[in-house]
Structure 1
Amino acid sequence: MRIGINAYEANVANRVGSNEFAYQVLIHLEKLLRDDDVIIYLPSPPLQDMPKSRKGWMYAVIPPAGLWSVWRLPLALLRKKLFGKSFDVFFSLGHYAPLICPFPSVISIMDLAYEKFPQFFKKSDVMKLKVFTRASVKKAAHMIAISQHTKQDLVKLYGVSANHITVAYPGVEEHQLVGSSVRILQGLKVREPYIVYVGTIQPRKNIARLVKAFEKVKQKKKYADLSLVIAGKVGWMADDVMHAIQHSLVKHHVKLLGFVTEEQKLTLYKHAVAAVLVGLYEGFGIPPLEAMLAGTVPLVSNTASLPEVVGGTGVQVDPLNSDDIARGIEEVLEYTTRQRQEMIAQGKVQASQFSWENTALRVARVLHEVGARQIGGKTA
C-alpha cells in the first residue's frame, strides 16, 4: 500500500503534547508498515532521532515551512497526482490536513479546547484553528481522536459520524534513571516534600487556581515545609498566571523550573507527594500516566478526558473550585503508608494499559482500512 504522511508535528526539538504524540506514533508506525511504501513529508530535514530512511520508508523535504499545509504541501501532492504517482491514503499527524489533498485523508485530533475555551487562546490562533480544523475534518475520510472525550466533542461540535472516528489513546514509556535522583533534585534545588505540575504554563492549565489552592493548604502549620514545583516552559497568554505566582502569599514555596529533561522529570515524579494536573480541559493527559508509571499518586480534574486516563486511581477534584483542589491535595498528604502503596500499585496497573505500540497499531489499522477502500474503488 502507498501511504503518505505529514510528519511536520514530529520533527521538532523539545517535544511536548501533540509533538510527542506525532513522534511516538511515527517511530512505531515505521516498525509496523514494513510491507508498505511510505513517504514522509517534512518542511525541513529530519532530526537525528527521527526514523532512518530505508527502502519503503523515505523522506520528502519540501521547504519553506511558512503556511506549509496551506500551499507548499498541497502543491507537492497535486504534482504527484498529476504525474500519476498517487497515494492510497494520506495521514496527517495533527489537526491540519493539506488544504487541498487529492488522496483519501486521515487526520489526528488532540482536542477542541479552542472551541470550548477560546478566551485562553490568541484570537488569531482561534480563527486559524477553527477554519483549518473544520476544513480538515470535513474532507477527512477518517479521524484519529486521542480520547473518548475528544471523539464526543467531534460528534457534538462538528457533527462528525462516530463511525468515522477511531480512538487511539497515547501511550507512555517507562524510563530508568541513569544518575542519582538525589543529586538531580539537588541540582534542581528542589527539596521534599512537594507536589509537582509538569506541563506548559498557559491559562487552560488552571495553574493560577492551583496556586490559590496551595495557599489554602499552606495555611495549616503541619504543611509548612510543603512546596509546589512547576516544571514546564512558559506558553502563550501566560502573563496572568505568572502574575498570580509572583504575587502569591506563598510565592517563596512555589518553584518554577522551566523545561526539564526526561531524567529530571522522572526524578521529580518519583519524589513527589503527588503529580497535579487540574486543567480545565485536556484532550488526554500524558503527565498523570507518566506519574503513575513512576510510582506517584495523580491528582487530576474530574472533567474532560482525565477520568479516562486515571481510571479508578488517584484523586479527582473540581477544577473550578480552589477549595476542592485544596481538599484533594490534603487528601493525598494524609495518606497512610499502606494507602499510598495501594494507590501507587493501582496506578501502575492503570498506566500499563497505555502503550505507544497499541496507539500505532490502531492508527495502522485505520490507514490500511481507508487505503483498501481506495484500492477497491479503483478496481471496481
Structure 2
Amino acid sequence: MRVGLLASLLSRQATYRRAGVSRYIEALLQYLPGVAPDLEIIAYTSRTVWRAARAEFPPAVAWRVTRWPTERPSVRIAWEQLVAPWATRDCAVIHGPVNVLPLALARPGVVTVHDLAFVHFPEHYPAAKRWYLRLLTGLSVRRARRVIAVSETTRRDVVRTYGIAPERISTIPNGIDADWRRVDDVELERWRRQQGLPERFLLFVGTVQPRKNLTTLLEAFARLGPEFPWPLFVVGAAGWLDSPIYRRVEDLGLARRVRFTGYVPPEELRYWYSAATIFIYPSLYEGFGLPLLEAMACETPVITSNCSALPEVAGDAAVLVEPTDPLAIAAAIQSLVMDEERRRMLAQAGRERARQFTWERTARETSAVYRTLGEQRSGERGGEAV
C-alpha cells in the first residue's frame, strides 16, 4: 500500500522550524520503513529540503520533489491545497503530519494534531498564522477519515473544539530515539570544558515565543536573588513575538545571569540536557512537550507546568507547578537546589518514565492507522464493484 506523507515542514534550517513538528516528520520517515516494510512511504517536499535531507533517511523512503519553494509558508499552503490533491492521486492514504490536510483530496486522509494552542492562546500568534491554523485545522479534522492526537489532552481538545467523534481519533504519543540517553561522564566533562559551562546551571529548552512562558520563568529566577549562584541557560531559536522576553531580561537586571544560546542542532541538545542540574519547562500550554521527555531520558530533574499535556507526559517523574505563579516556580527551584537526594530520585524516575515513549512505537501505531484506512478504502471499492 502506498502512503503519501506531506513533508513540506521537514526542515534543515538552523531556526525554530527544525524543532517540534519537523522532528515528528523526521521520526516517521526514519522509523516507518523498519516497522512497516509492507508500506511504500512517499515523502512530498521541496527540492531544497530533499537535497539537504535525503541521505539521512532509509533508502526505502521514496521522494517526490516539487520546484515550488515550499519553505515559504504562503507557498507551502498554496501547494498543499492546490497541487497536493493531484500530486498524491496514486496514493492509497495521505497523511498531513502537522494539523492540516489538502481539503480536495480524492483519497482517505489522516491528519496529526499536535496542539490547539492557537485556540487557547490566540494572542500568542501573529494574526495571519492564527487565522490559518484556526480555519485549516478545523476543516482538516472534519475532512480526515482519521485524526491522530499526540496526547490524550490533545484528543480531548479536538473533541471539545471541533465536535469530532472520539472513535475517529487515535492517541499516538511522540517519542525519543532508543539511543537518546545521558551522555557519558567523561565525554560530557570534555564538552562542558569546551563550552565553558559551570558545574551547575538551570536549563530551559524551546523556541523563544510567548507560549513557552519565559517571562514568568525570568521573574521566578529574579526572585531567587542576585546571590543565587547558578545561571539560567535558554537554549532555543528565536520564534515570534519574542522582543518582550529579551526586554524583560534587561528590566529584571538579569543580563549577566541569563544566557540565550540561540539555535542548537538536535545532535547537541543531549549534551545540554545531560550537563544541566535542573531542567525547567513552565509552558502555558503543550499538546505533548517533547523537551520534557528528552530531559527525563538524560536523567535531568524536571520542573514543569501542572496543566495541558505536561502532567500526562511527566507522570510522577517531575515537580509540577502553577506556570503563572513565579513564587511557586522559584520555590520549586530552591527546593530542588537544596535537596540533592530528591534530584537523584527524580533523575531515576525520569529515565524510567522516558523509556515508555519511543519513536518506534509512534511509527508502528501510525502504520496501523494507515492500514485501517487502506482496508476501509478497499472495502468501499469492492462494494462499488458489486
Q: TM-score scaled by structure 2?
A: 0.90
User: Following the alignment from structure 1 to structure 2, what is the Cα–Cα distance between the partners of residues 134 and 108?
Assistant: 12
User: Following the alignment from structure 1 to structure 2, what is the Cα–Cα distance between the partners of residues 78 and 262?
Assistant: 33
Identify if the C-alpha distance between structure 1 residues 211 and 323 changes in structure 2 by more than 3 Å, giving closer, same or farther: same
User: Following the alignment from structure 1 to structure 2, what is the Cα–Cα distance between the partners of residues 80 and 20?
Assistant: 24
Check whether the contact 1:70–1:98 (CA below 8 A) recurs between aligned residues: no
Matched residue, 1:20: 23
Q: Secondary structure at the match of 1:193?
A: coil
1:228 and 2:235 matched: no
User: Following the alignment from structure 1 to structure 2, what is the Cα–Cα distance between the partners of residues 263 and 75?
Assistant: 36
| Offset at residue 52 of structure 1 (A) | 4.2
Matched residue, 1:43: 46
Matched residues, number: 371
Matched residue, 1:345: 348
| Offset at residue 185 of structure 1 (A) | 2.5
| Offset at residue 245 of structure 1 (A) | 1.3
Give me the CA root mean square deviation. Answer: 2.0
1:265 and 2:273 matched: no
Check whether the contact 1:205–1:278 (CA below 8 A) recurs between aligned residues: yes
Matched residue, 2:7: 7
| Offset at residue 9 of structure 1 (A) | 2.0
Name which of structure 1's ranges 245-254 and 286-295 shifts more when overlaid on structure 2.
245-254
User: Following the alignment from structure 1 to structure 2, what is the Cα–Cα distance between the partners of residues 33 and 75?
Assistant: 30
| Offset at residue 272 of structure 1 (A) | 1.7
Q: Secondary structure at the match of 2:224?
A: helix
Q: TM-score scaled by structure 1?
A: 0.91
1:215 maps to which of 200, 206, 222: 222
User: Following the alignment from structure 2 to structure 1, what is the Cα–Cα distance between the partners of residues 278 and 22?
Assistant: 25
1:106 and 2:113 matched: no
Identify if the C-alpha distance between structure 1 residues 42 and 375 changes in structure 2 by more than 3 Å, giving closer, same or farther: same
Matched residue, 1:164: 168
| Offset at residue 43 of structure 1 (A) | 2.5
Matched residue, 2:364: 361
Q: Which amino acid aligns with 2:224?
A: V
2:209 maps to which of 191, 202, 207: 202
Identify if the C-alpha distance between structure 1 residues 79 and 208 changes in structure 2 by more than 3 Å, giving closer, same or farther: closer
Matched residue, 2:323: 319
How do residues 1-380 of structure 1 correspond to structure 2 at under 5 angstroms?
1-14=1-14, 15-44=18-47, 46=50, 47-54=53-60, 57-64=61-68, 65=70, 67-68=74-75, 70-79=77-86, 86-173=90-177, 174-175=180-181, 177=183, 180-218=187-225, 221=227, 223=228, 225-262=229-266, 264-336=268-340, 338-380=341-383
Which ranges of 4 or more aligned residues in structure 1 deviate by more than 6 Å?
A: none
User: Following the alignment from structure 1 to structure 2, what is the Cα–Cα distance between the partners of residues 206 and 78?
Assistant: 38
User: Following the alignment from structure 1 to structure 2, what is the Cα–Cα distance between the partners of residues 299 and 53?
Assistant: 40
Identify if the C-alpha distance between structure 1 residues 247 and 182 changes in structure 2 by more than 3 Å, giving closer, same or farther: farther
User: Following the alignment from structure 1 to structure 2, what is the Cα–Cα distance between the partners of residues 86 and 16?
Assistant: 31
User: Following the alignment from structure 1 to structure 2, what is the Cα–Cα distance between the partners of residues 184 and 234?
Assistant: 24
Q: Which amino acid aligns with 1:355?
A: T
Q: Which amino acid aligns with 2:230?
A: L
Identify if the C-alpha distance between structure 1 residues 103 and 12 changes in structure 2 by more than 3 Å, giving closer, same or farther: farther
Q: Secondary structure at the match of 1:218?
A: coil
| Offset at residue 71 of structure 1 (A) | 4.2
Structure 2 unmatched ranges of 5 or more: none
